[in-house]
């Protein structure tokens, strides 16, 4: 993953939206996101940053995550929870999720067939898609074996 390229994406986005400043705190949040593995929520990211000595505020973490989503560096999901979950999007292939309702495990998958169907449907309906995700809720094989 190219941290410099991600920083450049954020810098360009902030410049394009004039009133947004390129603060060290915003880049600290971006760096923490880039170091993340898998899905995370804003509170976990905030506490992880505090543990590592960051002076970033909770509000800055939440606001920056929204900003990072707007510029395409982060994806935001709601997996049948009351909390939004995030994952880094920069440099990752477009993918979808299967969510186990028993244990909460999130299984990511890539499907060329789904991409083809999406592209065909968008063309048929003259629709310009900006993003998409498929979320399949059910029970994973491990939980089924336990039952």
For 12-34, what is each residue's pLDDT tens digit? 999 898 778 889 999 999 999 99
Enclosing H/E stretch for 135 = strand 135-138
The CATH code of the domain that includes 21 is 1.10.10.10
If one counts the domains in the chain, the total is 2
- Predicted pLDDT of residue 144: 92
Q: Residue 86 in 3-state DSSP?
A: strand
Domain limit, last residue, from 88, 106, 133: 88
**How confident is residue 145, by pLDDT bands cut at 50, 70 and 90?**
very high
Which of 56, 88, 120 corresponds to the end of one domain? Answer: 88
Res. 147: pLDDT tops 90: no
Q: Which of these three, 48, 65, 88, is where a domain ends?
A: 88
Tell me the H-state helices in 71-111.
none
Q: Based on the fold, state whether residues 71 and 119 are members of the same structural domain.
A: no
Q: Clarify whether residues 11 and 76 are in a common domain.
A: yes
Residues 74 and 112 in one domain: no
Residue where the block lists tokens 């083809």: 116
- In terms of domains, do 29 and 80 share one? yes
Per-residue pLDDT, 17: 84
């Amino acid at each position: 993953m190219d941290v410099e390229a991600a920083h450049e994406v954020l810098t360009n986005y902030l410049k394009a939206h004039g009133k947004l400043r390129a603060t060290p705190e915003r880049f600290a949040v971006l760096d923490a996101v880039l170091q993340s593995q898998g899905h995370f929520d804003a509170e976990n990211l905030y506490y992880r940053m505090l543990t590592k000595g960051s002076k970033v505020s909770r509000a800055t973490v939440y606001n920056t995550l929204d900003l990072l989503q707007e510029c395409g560096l982060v994806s935001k999901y709601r997996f049948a929870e009351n909390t939004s979950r995030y994952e880094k999007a920069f440099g990752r292939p477009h993918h979808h999720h299967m969510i186990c309702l028993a244990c909460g495990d999130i299984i990511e998958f890539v499907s060329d067939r789904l991409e083809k169907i999406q592209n065909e449907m968008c063309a048929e309906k003259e629709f310009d898609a900006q993003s998409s995700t498929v979320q399949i809720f059910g029970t994973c094989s491990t939980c089924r074996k336990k039952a």
